[in-house]
Structure 1
Amino acid sequence: MPADANSYPSGRARRMRVLALTLLVIAGTVNYLDRSALSIGNSSIRGSLHLSDAEMGLLLSVFAIAYGVAQLPVGILIDRYGPRRLMSIGLLLWSGAQICGGLVTGLGQFVVARAALGIGESPMYLAGTKVCSNWFQARARALPIGLFNASSALGPAIAPPILTTLMLTFGWRSMFVIIGVAGLAIAILWSLIYRDPDQYGITPEEQRWIHDEDSPADEALTLTGWPSLFREPTTWGMALGFLGVIYLTWLYGTWLPDYLERARHLSLRQAGLWTAIPQACGFFGALLGGLAARTLGRHGMAPVASCRLPLVLAMLVTAACTAGASLVHGTSAAILLVSVALFAGSLASSCGWAMAAVATTPDKVATLEAIQNIGGSIGGALAPLVTGLVVGLTGSFTPALLLAAGIALASALIYQFGTHDRPRPAPTTT
């Protein structure tokens, strides 16, 4: 570390940190507005296009399938070419796909538009985590990643009132077009403002300071390349565990408005507005996740363990509350339990993203995030599809929620026993 390390980060670096994090939160929020549009318009779209529950479940799942397939190649490209380029391309693609979603005339066209949306959004959180790894030291990454990841809960929190109002005022097609245009505006801002450290003119000394905790002890570990990640048990534990985390958050993200309409007998407007409360709780959970991991790390807990402990506890809470929500009779009690479940699930998601930033070396962060998110995408694809099939077969959301509770419990156990801090080379003696 250079003698003047206490002067780092420089004023220029701090400004770009703030700008980058602000843009990431805004982009992530718009990202989830786009994802939420189909679930908010569920009943209207289903009626307009004459879709069954199973067909709507398939349509809700297509996004996650395409998103998951794109994860690994996109993660490798981000590690190779940097987050700025891939994020710009992704923003343009997903915004165009969202606009096209408002123009479709049948299920087949909608499937194509949702698949394009999934591919376009695939760089979002991989690139964002890479940005945080490029600009923040290892011990400081959990908080900005948590703040950025909170946009995945902020978007769904503000989506119900915003999208419901747009849909009731202009129709579901115009709702899709309007938020697609908003994404294009974010793409322009990102391309004009954000720069990776090497493009921004950060000095080599300051870049070494940023990655001081990653090197030189990690240098031996970087030589094996990203395929070595598949030989690490922790990689598989993170991927399988994240499947459960995203299954739960996507269950509520895709079916909650319809659940409130059909199982709790709320009107379309009421369901749209009440959906905002659990999603707002998810936003605060995501914020707390990064803060909890950072606090545990600052008190001496190992990096992966500081993310794992709050994640496991949160998934246990999610499992209990999801099971409870399926069994209570009162609508208010059900909304309260779903709110706690989404708070805990989003906290777990935030810790899961932070874990990948400290579980491998900087050159493989986006790739590890991609592998983990492939598991998450499988969960995201299964949740709406399985829920639609179960509801269609049984006529009830109760079995679907009980199944989700079991998956949350399995996720907690996988993270607890399947993830470990990466080994460090032994310090040399002189």
Structure 2
Amino acid sequence: MTLAEKNTTAAKVTMGKMTNYRWWVMLFIFIIYTVANADRANIGFALPYIREEFAMSNTEAGALISLFFIGYSLGQIPSGFLTSRFGIRKMFTAGMFLTSAFTGMMGVVDSAFHLKILRTMVGLAESPVVIGCTATINNWFPAKEKGTATGIFLAGSKVGPLVVPPLCAWIIMTFGWREIFLFFMIPGVLLSIFWYLMVRSQPGESKFVSASELQYIQTEETAVAKVERKKEYNLWWLDKIVRAKKVVPLNTSKQVFRSWDIYGAALGYFFIIGISSIMMSWLPTYLVTIKKFAIMKTAFVAASPFAGTVVGNFLGGWLSDKYLNKRRKPLMMVTAFSASLMMYSLVHAPNDPILLAMLLFITGVFFSLGYSAFACYPMGRVDKEQYPIAWGIVNTGGQLGGACFPLIVGIILDKFSWNAVFASMAVGSMICLLIVSTIIEPVEDPLERPRI
């Protein structure tokens, strides 16, 4: 054995066997965020029965839905600062535990007022959960895997609404609407404890991560790898469209709060989350009252757009890492443009449940291609220390959209029709496209037009 081979062997022994615990952490994130989003989505299916008991107008029902997003948006930036201060592990565990506890309390309310208070508290408590998920991905994954990991994470946000309709339909038929919230409380409480025991804020703090995996996570791409990736990605014209530039990452909170790129991403996310919240909260009511579907048929159709978003989130994250060389804006723009077309198509939605489910599935796929890119975008624009704050700003914008849009839908429905709702969503998608087009795509090496 040569000296070089002996050194290589010794290095391997020192580094230990290559573990892949980061993907186990990704699985934990997927499951936990699925449960967290089920906690927020279950009210959509319970809403018709809540309105019967507490006699609510469309506007009041929209306000009830919006209260979650009001609490959620108010908690984003403070959660970013608190996560930076106390660490992901503590804030994530506390947030998930309280989210589930407040969800369970909604099943024992005696008035609409108490229901509104608890709905707001569910949103406020869940704020550290989403900050913790994305910050964990930013810390635990190398740059070349962050898009894929974020796509998996946000797919979990759509698996929740996907499993909610059939599960809620069974609970209502077997027990009642109150039991929905009691049933959904249990897994979240258990998973919060599980997270505290199994996941650390940094991979270097975890006993399950070998030195080899830690080095893999922390090592940037080699110069040779960068050249190879640049050869694969030669769409110079796309770099012109998305305004790709090499920029210095923002490394202070002051810089983050003064950056148009962060605010532009937040405003774009405002419309994306707003439209998503409408589909999550108002779709069952639309299917029951307008399409006159029975409860199980409603559950089947209401789940279809979220099945599409699961596919779209996986696909979008993988495409941005594999074929777009970590560029996030292209798919953000594709989502905004396609959402406008799909929302307009719902004005002429078919009455056949199979055809409508297919249309909503396709809508979900295109709508979510760039969904994960909004969370990935700040990862390339700011350093790791400032990421929780930057993502807090972006997600604040998104959740304000989630707060405003369901309420706006209620107001529109009290005066107009569902066609006006879908037309308004189409216009909102086009505004999102215009805003997103103004922000910079941060890249290490923007492509130039090849010289002939």
TM-score normalised according to structure 2 size: 0.85
Query: Is the Cα–Cα contact under 8 Å of residues 270 and 401 in structure 2 kept in the other structure?
Result: yes
Matching of residue 287 in structure 1 with residue 314 in structure 2: yes
Q: Which whole-Å CA distance do the structure 2 matches of 1:109 and 1:247 have between them?
A: 25
Change in Cα spacing, 1:231 to 1:254, as seen in structure 2 (3 Å) is same
Q: Are residues 58 and 410 of structure 1, via their aligned partners in 2, closer, same or farther at CA, if it must alter by over 3 Å? A: same
1:382, distance to aligned residue in structure 2 (A)? 1.2
Alignment length, in residue pairs? 411
- What displacement does 1:81 show? 2.5
Aligned partner (choices 69, 74, 78) of residue 74 of structure 2: 69
1:364-418 C-alpha deviation (Å, 9 max, x unpaired): 1111111100110111011210011111122x21101110111111112211222
Which shows bigger deviation, 332-341 or 226-235?
Answer: 332-341
Q: Which residue of 1 aligns with 2:158?
A: 153
Give 1:328 deviation, angstroms. Answer: 3.7
Q: Helix, strand or coil for the counterpart of 1:117?
A: helix
Q: Is the 8 A contact 2:71 2:121 kept in 1?
A: yes
Q: 1:154 to 1:54 in 2, by over 3 A?
A: same
Runs (5+) with no aligned partner, structure 2:
1-7, 222-246, 446-452
SS at match of 2:184: helix
How far apart are the structure 2 equivalents of 1:103 and 1:72?
Answer: 31
Match of residue 370 from structure 1: 392
Distance change >3 Å, CA 419–CA 110, structure 1 → 2: farther
Aligned to 1:41: 46
Structure 2 counterpart of 1:408, one-letter code:
S
| Contact map agreement 1:138 1:211 (CA 8 A) in 2 | no
Structure 2 match to 1:296: 323
Output the CA distance in 2 between the equivalents of 1:153 and 1:363: 28
Contact 2:334 2:369 in 1 (8 A): no
- Which has the higher Rg, Structure 1 or Structure 2? 2
Q: Is the 8 A contact 1:242 1:375 kept in 2?
A: yes
Supply the distance in 2 between the matched residues of 1:118 and 1:11 (Cα, whole angstroms): 42
Is this contact kept in 2: 1:61–1:380, CA < 8 A?
yes
**Aligned partner of 1:386: which letter?**
I
Give the distance between the partners of 1:161 and 1:143, measured in 2 at CA: 28
Distance in 1 (CA, whole Å) between partners of 2:19 and 2:133 is 16
Given candidates 195, 206, 215, the residue that maps to 1:200 is: 206
- Cα 1:55–1:374 change in 2 (3 A) is same
Segment drifting more, 414-423 vs 244-253:
414-423
2:347 pairs with 1:336:
no
Q: Deviations over 1:43-75 (max 9, x none)?
A: 111101211111110000000000000000101
Are 1:239 and 1:376, in contact at CA under 8 Å, matched by a contact in 2? yes
Conserved 8 A contact 2:145-2:321: yes
SS in 1 for 2:311: helix
Q: Residues 23-34 of structure 1 correspond to what in structure 2 (within 5 A)?
A: 23-34=28-39
Structure-2 residue corresponding to 1:84: 89
Counterpart residue type for residue 340 of structure 1 = I
Q: What is the distance in 2 between the residues matched to 1:206 and 1:43?
A: 50
Match of 2:64? 59
Q: 2:380 aligns with which of 358, 367, 392?
A: 358
Using a 3 Å threshold, how does the CA distance of structure 1 residues 209 and 171 change in structure 2: closer, same or farther? same
Give the counterpart letter for 1:150 in structure 2: A
Q: Cα–Cα, structure 1 residues 5 and 278, in superposed 2: closer, same or farther, change >3 Å?
A: farther
Matching residue within 266, 269, 287 for 2:296:
269
Shift of residue 199, structure 1, vs aligned partner: 2.8
Q: Which residue of 1 aligns with 2:196?
A: 191
1:172 shift after superposition: 0.9
Is 1:100 paired with 2:105?
yes
Given that 2:19 and 2:210 are in contact with CA atoms closer than 8 Å, whether structure 1 keeps it comes out as no
1:190 deviates by 1.1
Relative distance call for 1:91 and 1:328 in structure 2 (3 A) is: closer
- Aligned-partner residue type, residue 193 of structure 2: I
Listed one character per residue, the Cα deviations across residues 182-219 of structure 1 (whole Å, up to 9, x for unaligned) are 211111211221123243256899757634449xxxxx
Across the aligned residues of Structure 1 and Structure 2, the Cα RMSD in angstroms comes to: 2.6
Among 231, 248, 251, the residue aligned to 2:258: 231
8 Å Cα contact 1:277-1:339 kept in structure 2: yes
Percent identity reads: 24
Q: Which amino acid aligns with 2:343?
A: T
SS in 1 for 2:370: helix
Structure 1 contact 221–361 (Cα < 8 Å) conserved: no
